[in-house]
Amino acid sequence: MTVSIDSQRLWDSLMAMAEIGPTENGGSCRLALTEEDAAGRRLLIEWCEAIGCSVKVDRVGNLFIRRSGTLDDLDPVATGSHLDTQPRGGRFDGILGVLAGLEVFRTLHDRGIVTERPLELVIWTNEEGSRFAPAMVASGTYAGEFSVESTLAREDRDGVTLGEALEATGFAGTMPVGEPRLAAFFELHIEQGPVLEEEGESLGVVTGVQGMRWFDVTFTGQSAHAGPTPMRYRHDALAAAARLIDRLQSHALADESGDTKVTCGCLDIVSASRNVIPGGVRLSVDLRHVVEAELDALEAVFERELMAASDAFGVEVRSDRIWKSPVVHFNTGCIEAVETAVKAQGVAYRRMMSGAGHDSVYVSRVAPTAMIFIPCRDGISHNEAEYATPEHCALGCQVLLEAILEKAGMATV
């Protein structure tokens, strides 16, 4: 028997959610645990309760929306993602995964289908990390990576703690973090990159997530007048930073596989002035690779070039690794469930690793997990221009439905 989602209803729910926290250029701004984020959560809960679902909230604000099964004491099969956005984010990043889960629940409700295992739609708190660092902190807490106390104590730029924001928005739950345990977890997401679109493929079967390491680097030289100071006497912190960036870029570009990725996304010149040699520079470095051993090697290159830049320009350097996320390999059984559903759609697809971090990274440590990707226009994400077509959204949702049914079992019609 074929069970099909309602593609128009899915699209309508995406557009309705986008009306909460809209930005001037068609994007979304719902920073974690702001009133806009809370309004989005309340709308979702309203939709879910209308079809008989129950809602629980854990101590770090993760929402667990349950649809009962015939064997309700079994661990549930779950899907979900996040509703929080970047300050000028799009309408699909995270939101698609949540509202596709809602559409799965609605479709089953319309058809009178009850699964054997219960189902959970999970909304993870603060996935983006835009308000409370680091990203994915609540799913990480669920998986045991962070303590509940440390997560609740994390502060935004205004000194408001995550715990205080939970209280203010009404999402300070009481359910112990780490419950319920999940039999399987599936996350539908836009790719956030250009590969599927460039290759003319409609779906990605995500087999894992590349490893990531973040560093904060400080170069300390000596400020001096740009005119009287000869080049050979200078201790230019910015020149050292530029040397490091150039060498890391050259190393990454030399990798023909394209799996080596280096990004320096933040650069701050201390007391910058047009005619002053920069005496202090702060720099962020993001290293990524799909193979852990190669990521180790990339970090070694970074450390070597860091020291070389320090020596070449006579500056001091300090490097702090602030985050390390190992390469993740998803569960074989969940990957196969997704791939079977993808093949049934009769469209071009590929197996692929995710280049971005997702809540599934942490969930996969404690539950069998896999992801589904659809293309996004020009590979753009974390941007108001972010866009996925209604057809691709529906296609991904249909795959999600079929993968969930395969793992949860279809009891009655």
Residue 128 counted as an annotated binding residue:
yes
Mean predicted confidence (pLDDT) in 146-175: 98
Write out the H or E segment, with its range, that includes residue 38. helix 35-49
Mean predicted confidence (pLDDT) in 285-289: 96
- Do residues 127 and 97 touch, judged by C-beta distance below 8 A? no
Q: What is the pLDDT of residues 16-25, one digit of tens each?
A: 999 999 999 9
Domains 7-210+327-412 and 211-325 share a fold: no
The CA distance from 294 to 311, in Å, is 26
**Is pLDDT above 70 for 339?**
yes
Coil, helix or strand at residue 135: coil
Looking at the structure, give the CATH architecture of the domain made up of residues 211-325: 2-Layer Sandwich (3.30)
Residue 93 counted as an annotated binding residue:
yes
The CA distance from 375 to 61, in Å, is 30
Mean predicted confidence (pLDDT) in 159-166: 98
The alpha carbon of 106 is separated from its chain's Cα centroid by a whole number of angstroms, namely 25
- Using a pLDDT cut of 90, give the percent of the chain over it: 96
Coil, helix or strand at residue 391: helix
- Do residues 94 and 17 touch, judged by C-beta distance below 8 A? no
Coil, helix or strand at residue 195: helix
179: left (phi over 0), alpha (psi -120 to 50) or beta: beta
Residue 410's pLDDT is 86
The CA distance from 121 to 78, in Å, is 6
Identity (one letter) of the amino acid at 306?
Answer: L
Residue 82 counted as an annotated binding residue:
yes
The CA distance from 181 to 142, in Å, is 10
Mean predicted confidence (pLDDT) in 274-289: 97
Residue 109 counted as an annotated binding residue:
no
Domain ranges of the chain: 7-210+327-412, 211-325
Mean predicted confidence (pLDDT) in 240-266: 97
Fill in the DSSP letter of residue 122.
E
Q: Is CATH 3.40.630.10 correct for 7-210+327-412?
A: yes
Lowest mean pLDDT: which of 27-36, 275-284, 351-360? 351-360
The CA distance from 79 to 406, in Å, is 13
- Can you read off the two tokens belonging to residue 304? 């070597």
Cβ atoms within 10 A of the Cβ of 202, count?
22
Q: What is the pLDDT of residues 194-214, one digit of tens each?
A: 999 999 999 999 999 999 999
Residue 323's pLDDT is 85
**Is pLDDT above 60 for 413?**
no
Q: What is the pLDDT of residues 310-330, one digit of tens each?
A: 999 999 999 999 889 899 999
- Can you read off the two tokens belonging to residue 208? 């894992």
**Is pLDDT above 80 for 66?**
yes
Residue 359 counted as an annotated binding residue:
no
Residue 412's pLDDT is 58
Residue from 178, 118, 181 nearest 142 by CA: 178
The CA distance from 138 to 142, in Å, is 6
Residue 356's pLDDT is 87
Q: What is the pLDDT of residues 179-192, one digit of tens each?
A: 999 999 999 999 99
The CA distance from 208 to 357, in Å, is 10
